[in-house]
Amino acid sequence: KVPVWNGLTNLHHPTQALADFMTATEYIDKPFHEMKIVFVGDAANNVAYSLMITAAKLGAKFVALCPPTRRPEMDIVRMVREAYGGTVECYDIASRRQALAGADVVYTDVWVSMGEEHLFDERIRELQPYQVDVSMMMDTQNENCKFLHCLPAFHDLNTSVGRHVHEKYGLSAMECSDEVFRSERSVVFEQAANRVHTIKAVMVATVGHLERRAPDSLDQLAITG
């Protein structure tokens, strides 16, 4: 028997959520049950789903600030509520101050995921008002609020995608402004580094008890290596 790890699927990204909450513990001096996590943008993607499930398991408050068309699927929300006793609050941009007030973490992700490149027109039209900028961070009314992003991010024109979007749509950034991405509130690179530590922890927890057999030959060593 061997463990099967979910590194990422269309519906879930649990290993990302582990790194997210490890980062939260490093920068937010609160227990999980007192934390408020606000996910901004496409709240119907795998990162948002795993974040809301993990928040429910740990007792954190999860809020989605998103257009009605990108709200979490009700099956996921029902599972969060019934299986883990959590809640998912959804607000659109008209209620952004209510959604963001008191947030400890503001989290966003790309508007178009892998394999969805044909959806740029639709997603930009839906999500442009949801760009995380300085004013949105100010609406948290929490000077200690941190900005998280699972990366990669389109916050400037230093990528081919960023330049293409700028040429076609006139945007210099998409899901977050460059000012927020590079600000002191942003801990996105520390968050990315924590992917290493949490993945190693998963490996130790799931295969650390297995006895390691020495290879029978150099050929086998090269194969298993």
Q: Which residues have a Cβ under 8 Å from the Cβ of 58 and sit 6 or more positions away?
A: 21, 32, 33
223 pLDDT band (50/70/90 cuts)? very low
Distance of alpha carbon 146 from alpha carbon 185, whole angstroms: 5
Q: Are 154 and 121 in contact (CB under 8 A)?
A: no
User: DSSP strand E in the chain: where?
Assistant: 36-40, 61-65, 88-91, 105-108, 146-149
Given a cut of 60, is residue 221 above it in pLDDT? no
Give exposure, 126-146, as e/b (b: 16+ Cβ within 10 Å).
Answer: bbeebbbeeebbebbebeebb
Write out pLDDT tens, residues 131-164: 999 999 999 999 999 999 999 999 999 999 999 9
| DSSP assignment letter at 30 | S
219 pLDDT band (50/70/90 cuts)? low
Given a cut of 50, is residue 224 above it in pLDDT? no
pLDDT in the model for residue 106? 99
What is the residue-averaged pLDDT of the chain?
93
Write out pLDDT tens, residues 52-63: 999 999 999 999
pLDDT in the model for residue 114? 82
pLDDT in the model for residue 211? 65
Parallel/antiparallel/unpaired status of strands 36-40 and 105-108: parallel
Write out pLDDT tens, residues 174-206: 999 999 999 999 999 999 999 999 999 999 999
